[in-house]
């Protein structure tokens, strides 16, 4: 049978706690960095656009179950050839906070729809029952 002394047990527990602590610290740093970027982005957006975003509602889509439509604020555009990366900002009324989503769109579609920086863009969302938030699915 396998046996362990109290000293060995404490050593293994100490090593496990150090590993968990390092993992938690990395997650905290990543989360803090992400939050800072959102705050920096929000600082560049005009106040009236932020208020307009807060007033947006989530409309259920007919026959689509937990999917709904809303509009997100087009906060950043990075175009590289035929592919563009856009950053959309939404407002979560339940948490009284802004959140963002980055997605890709064809540059021709971006131009064809006439989307420009700080436009309100129609989006399809999906309600996440576990976290009680709306998740971005696609630009309509």
User: Within this chain, do residues 74 and 40 fall inside the same structural domain, yes or no?
Assistant: no
Query: What are the pLDDT digits (tens) for 41-63?
Result: 888 888 899 899 888 888 877 76
The tally of domains found in the chain comes to: 2
User: Within this chain, do residues 134 and 74 fall inside the same structural domain, yes or no?
Assistant: yes
pTM of the model: 0.68
CB proximity list for 99: less than 8 A, separation 6 or greater: 38, 89, 90, 91, 92, 133
User: Within this chain, do residues 52 and 116 fall inside the same structural domain, yes or no?
Assistant: yes
Range of the domain at 9: 1-44
Query: What are the pLDDT digits (tens) for 6-38?
Result: 888 889 999 999 999 998 888 877 766 655 588
User: Within this chain, do residues 113 and 52 fall inside the same structural domain, yes or no?
Assistant: yes
Residue 51 in contact with residue 72, Cβ under 8 Å?
no
Q: What share of the chain is helix, strand, coil (3-state, %, to 5)?
A: 40, 35, 25
As a whole number of angstroms, the distance between CA 6 and CA 23 comes to: 26
As a whole number of angstroms, the distance between CA 47 and CA 105 comes to: 26
User: Within this chain, do residues 33 and 58 fall inside the same structural domain, yes or no?
Assistant: no
User: Within this chain, do residues 85 and 107 fall inside the same structural domain, yes or no?
Assistant: yes
């Amino acid at each position: 049978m396998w046996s362990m002394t109290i000293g060995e047990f404490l050593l293994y527990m100490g090593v496990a706690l150090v590993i968990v602590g390092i993992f938690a610290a990395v997650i905290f740093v990543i989360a803090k960095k992400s939050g800072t970027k959102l705050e920096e982005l929000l600082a560049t957006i005009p106040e009236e656009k932020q208020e307009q975003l807060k007033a947006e509602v989530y409309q259920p889509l007919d026959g689509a179950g937990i999917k709904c439509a809303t509009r997100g604020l087009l906060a950043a555009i990075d175009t590289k050839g035929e592919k563009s990366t856009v950053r959309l900002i939404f407002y979560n009324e339940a948490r009284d906070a802004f959140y963002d989503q980055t997605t890709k769109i064809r540059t021709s579609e971006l131009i064809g729809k006439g989307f420009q920086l700080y436009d309100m863009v129609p989006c399809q969302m999906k309600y996440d029952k576990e976290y009680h938030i709306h998740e971005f699915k696609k630009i309509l």
